[in-house]
Amino acid sequence: MTETSSVKEIVPPQLDNLLKLDPYLEPYQGEIKRRYNVFKTILNQLDTEEGGLDKFTSAYTHYGIHVDCRTNEIKAKEWAPGARAMYLRGDFNNWQERQYPFTRDEWGIWRLTIPPLADGTPAIKHGQIIKLLIETPGGQLEDRICPWSRYVQRAEKANTYHGVFYNPPAEQVYKFKHEQQKKKERLKIYESHVGISSWKGEVATYENFRLNVLPRVVRQGYNTIQLMAVMEHAYYASFGYQVTSFFAASSRFGTPEELKALIDEAHGLGLTVLLDLVHSHGCKNVYDGINMFDGTNGCFFHDNSRGYHDLWDSRCFNYMQREVMRFLLSNIRYWLEEFKFDGFRFDGVSSMLYHSHGIGHSFSGTYNEYFGLATDTESFNYLQLANHVSQTLYPESITIAEEVSGMPTLCRPIAEGGGGFDYRLAMAIPDVWIKLLKEKSDEDWQVGDISWTLVNRRWSEKNIAYSESHDQALVGDKTIAHWLFDTQIYTHMSVLSERTPVVERGLALHKMIRLLTYALGGEGWLNFEGNEFGHPEWLDFPRAGNNDSYHYARRLFYLSDDETLRYKYLNAWDQGMNACEEQYKWLAAKNTYISRRHEGDKVLVFERGDHGLLFIFNFHTHKSFPDYRIGCARCGKYKVVLNSDSKTYDGLGRVSDTQVFLTEDTKWDERPFSFKVYTPCRTVLVLALTGDVK
């Protein structure tokens, strides 16, 4: 009789901390342990079978096509388990088909070595076009781009991309000059797209962004930029979300070296730089993507219905396949190491976490939805691995999840059994604002409902708040400014034009909506470029439906610089918000208290931070309140530190920016002290404690 040994359960070392933070997780700790057990098992396998995480995630240095700097040989290495044969061809051999065949091992890894030329130089020169020639299981010969390509370009007068051998001479390789930023706790993110970052009807460049946009970002008071659409995508109008080459910085904006210069310059200006990372799916393109790379429906993706994303018309990765894991985790390290990005915003995390991809899934918040069969735990384990790679190899890196379902533990440490993300995007907030602007009159806005949406987030899991992002700027939707100003955004934004009721309302609510979201909605703040000054046009990339026009694929920054236009005031308000947060650091505050939600008065009052910071919002359409009593926790003298009614921000100047208020020993709204203020309609006042009453 054979004795069977039981497998020892691997328990997250800090699980007790997680359960103390949220006792409702207690019934689900078995599933949390199981997920963590799978994560640790994979790590142990990588240690024993792959030489450890460091070696495993360095695959980009030897997979793909490289020059051996010691011998000048060309070394090529690819994973294509379904291929019957593989060849390398290109400009370097006049596109002969079978001159350079690969050899295959038992794991489906193909290798090729091409000796240097007679003069000792590499057989393939920098900038030459190259492709892999794959013999598919059916016997056809098909060109493919190397999945590890670092540079691809679209052929002239063609729609598809081709691989470019990228091996610039040493003097052309960018050398970083500045230290990377330490991990910031209070992120103020400027969400950016390099290609649209110019007023011209063209694809803007990395150099344009470095020279013209970075100084603007710093001037506005942001400390972080998030670069979108950097990973190469054949279809520009996909906004970068149909990635075809995961290791290639988009060539439409310039060279990899120019991207490195941009990032280095940002570091020199004190900015953290995040990459919008798309690992949630891959483009279904075959000839310039990685779909059907080896001639099969599988390879990098699931070889069944699970491998297709019907809504996005794309392919879904088989995350637990060892070579797919190697490819994606190496991709994370590549962007961190080679380009010195400081972290990532992970795209489409909700889609990854559920077998339904979240399609038609209305999340009620019950924990059974998160810890039952609906969850794709392989994706959860991959995200744990991705965060582990980031945090272990680059401890100062930051990760943000684009996640709408509210999956518990996603933004808790892996040691607790969590997903390991630092933040999630507060994706429900923009929907609330747009719904109010579209469907309800101002008189029907409920300040209690609005404030509840802003604070309704998981305790101890940090959020990035935003009132709108690129999603709301895209054609088919409208920005908040467009909803507020409507057609008068084109006709009445001059300081010389009539200040109509529409413009008056728009200026007031644009400032209030943004600050309320910023002050109450999370532990970080995000703005999409142009929204800070109420950009008057939506975003639409050149496509067949608009005759390939670039007219809306641009940002009109000059509008905010024009002294005759009211955009300058919204731009100044954006600077004022960031400056106020920088001084009083409310994003890092743990102590937020809402003391007043008065539906009749439309007044919302709350305290946040360690400086006695008081926010007083009056959303009433026409009622201003003199001698309005405000409760507060601390006695002393309060001063105005931000005032939306200030003429600096195109307000009416009804409250003086230099006014101070002395507290009284009168309890109000369950606060021990209070004082009276004048709160005009459609304004927000921010007050800060300056000292005790003498």
CATH number at residue 684: 2.60.40.1180
431: which residues sit within 8 A by CB, 6+ positions away?
A: none
Q: Among candidates 58, 108, 62, which has minimal Cα distance to 298? A: 108
Amino acid at 35: R
571: which residues sit within 8 A by CB, 6+ positions away?
A: 220, 532, 533, 560
Residue 658 lies in a domain: yes
**SS3 of residue 585 by DSSP:** coil
Q: What is the mean pLDDT of the chain?
A: 95
Q: Each residue of 321-359: pLDDT tens digit?
A: 999 999 999 999 999 999 999 999 999 999 999 999 988
334 bridge partner residues: none
Kindly give the interhelix angle for 428-439 and 501-520, rounded to the nearest 10 degrees: 160
Q: Among candidates 276, 189, 213, 286, which has minimal Cα distance to 239? A: 276
Q: Each residue of 80-105: pLDDT tens digit?
A: 999 999 999 999 999 999 999 999 99
Q: Each residue of 404-423: pLDDT tens digit?
A: 999 999 999 999 999 999 99
114 and 141 assigned to the same domain: yes
Segment 46-56 mean pLDDT: 97
37 and 114 assigned to the same domain: no
**SS3 of residue 544 by DSSP:** helix
Q: Each residue of 513-554: pLDDT tens digit?
A: 999 999 999 999 999 999 999 999 889 999 988 999 999 999
Detail the DSSP E strand segments found in 73-181.
Answer: 74-79, 85-90, 103-104, 109-114, 129-135, 141-144, 152-154, 161-164
Residue 585 lies in a domain: no
Residue 302 lies in a domain: no
Residue 38 lies in a domain: yes
644 and 679 assigned to the same domain: yes
From 172, 197, 232, the end of a domain falls on 172
Q: What is the pLDDT of residue 7?
A: 53
650 and 601 assigned to the same domain: yes
Residue 692 — pLDDT band, cuts 50, 70, 90? very low
Residue 548 lies in a domain: no
CA angle 539, 543, 547 (to 5 degrees): 105
CA 179 to chain CA mean position, Å: 22
46 and 98 assigned to the same domain: no
281: its two tokens: 């799916």
Phi, psi of 559 (to 5 degrees): -65, -40
From 33, 52, 71, the end of a domain falls on 52
The rounded distance, in Å, linking the Cα atoms of 665 and 667 is 6
22 and 123 assigned to the same domain: no
C-alpha distances out from residue 659 to 49, 484, 508, 653, Å: 69, 30, 21, 12
Q: Each residue of 281-324: pLDDT tens digit?
A: 999 999 999 999 999 999 999 999 999 999 999 999 999 999 99
CA-atom Rg of the chain in angstroms: 28
33 and 93 assigned to the same domain: no
Q: Among candidates 296, 289, 300, which has minimal Cα distance to 323? A: 300
Segment 600-611 mean pLDDT: 94
Q: What is the pLDDT of residue 160?
A: 87
Full DSSP string of 612-636: --EEEEE--SS--EEEEEEEESS-S
227's enclosing H/E stretch is strand 224-228
Q: Provide the pairing of β-strand 398-401 with 423-425.
A: parallel
Q: Provide the pairing of β-strand 423-425 with 463-465.
A: parallel
Token pair 């291929």: residue = 83
Largest CA distance in the chain: 95
Active-site residue set: 347, 402
161: its two tokens: 């991309």
Residue 525 lies in a domain: no
Contact by Cβ (8 Å): 605, 644: no
Q: What is the pLDDT of residue 475?
A: 76
Q: Does residue 6 carry a pLDDT above 70?
A: no
Residue 691 — pLDDT band, cuts 50, 70, 90? low
Q: Does residue 453 carry a pLDDT above 50?
A: yes
673's enclosing H/E stretch is strand 673-679
CATH number at residue 167: 2.60.40.10
Plot region of 278 (φ>0 → left; ψ -120 to 50 → alpha; else → beta): beta
Q: Among candidates 658, 558, 655, 670, which has minimal Cα distance to 616? A: 655
75 and 47 assigned to the same domain: no
Sign for the CA dihedral angle at 505, 507, 512, 518 comes to positive
689 bridge partner residues: 638
Residue 578 lies in a domain: no
Count of other CB atoms within 10 angstroms of residue 36: 24
31 and 86 assigned to the same domain: no
What domain count does the chain have? 3
CA 623 to chain CA mean position, Å: 40
Contact by Cβ (8 Å): 128, 167: no
Q: Each residue of 370-406: pLDDT tens digit?
A: 999 999 999 999 999 999 999 999 999 999 999 999 9
616 and 640 assigned to the same domain: yes
Segment 148-152 mean pLDDT: 98
From 146, 172, 198, the end of a domain falls on 172
Q: Does residue 469 carry a pLDDT above 60?
A: yes
Q: Does residue 8 carry a pLDDT above 80?
A: no
Residue 248 lies in a domain: no
The rounded distance, in Å, linking the Cα atoms of 459 and 25 is 13
Amino acid at 686: V
Q: What is the pLDDT of residue 361?
A: 74
Segment 480-493 mean pLDDT: 95
Segment 164-184 mean pLDDT: 96
66 and 165 assigned to the same domain: yes
Mean pLDDT is lowest, of 337-346, 409-418, 473-482, 579-588, for 473-482
506: which residues sit within 8 A by CB, 6+ positions away?
A: 481, 484, 485, 488, 489, 534
Query: What residues make up the domain containing 670?
Result: 591-691
With pLDDT > 90 as the criterion, what percentage of the chain qualifies?
Answer: 92
Amino acid at 551: H
Sign for the CA dihedral angle at 641, 647, 649, 650 comes to positive
27 and 120 assigned to the same domain: no
Q: Among candidates 328, 383, 404, 451, which has minimal Cα distance to 60? A: 328
Q: Each residue of 612-660: pLDDT tens digit?
A: 899 999 999 999 999 999 999 999 999 999 999 999 999 999 999 999 9
Q: Each residue of 235-277: pLDDT tens digit?
A: 999 999 999 999 999 999 999 999 999 999 999 999 999 999 9
322: which residues sit within 8 A by CB, 6+ positions away?
A: none
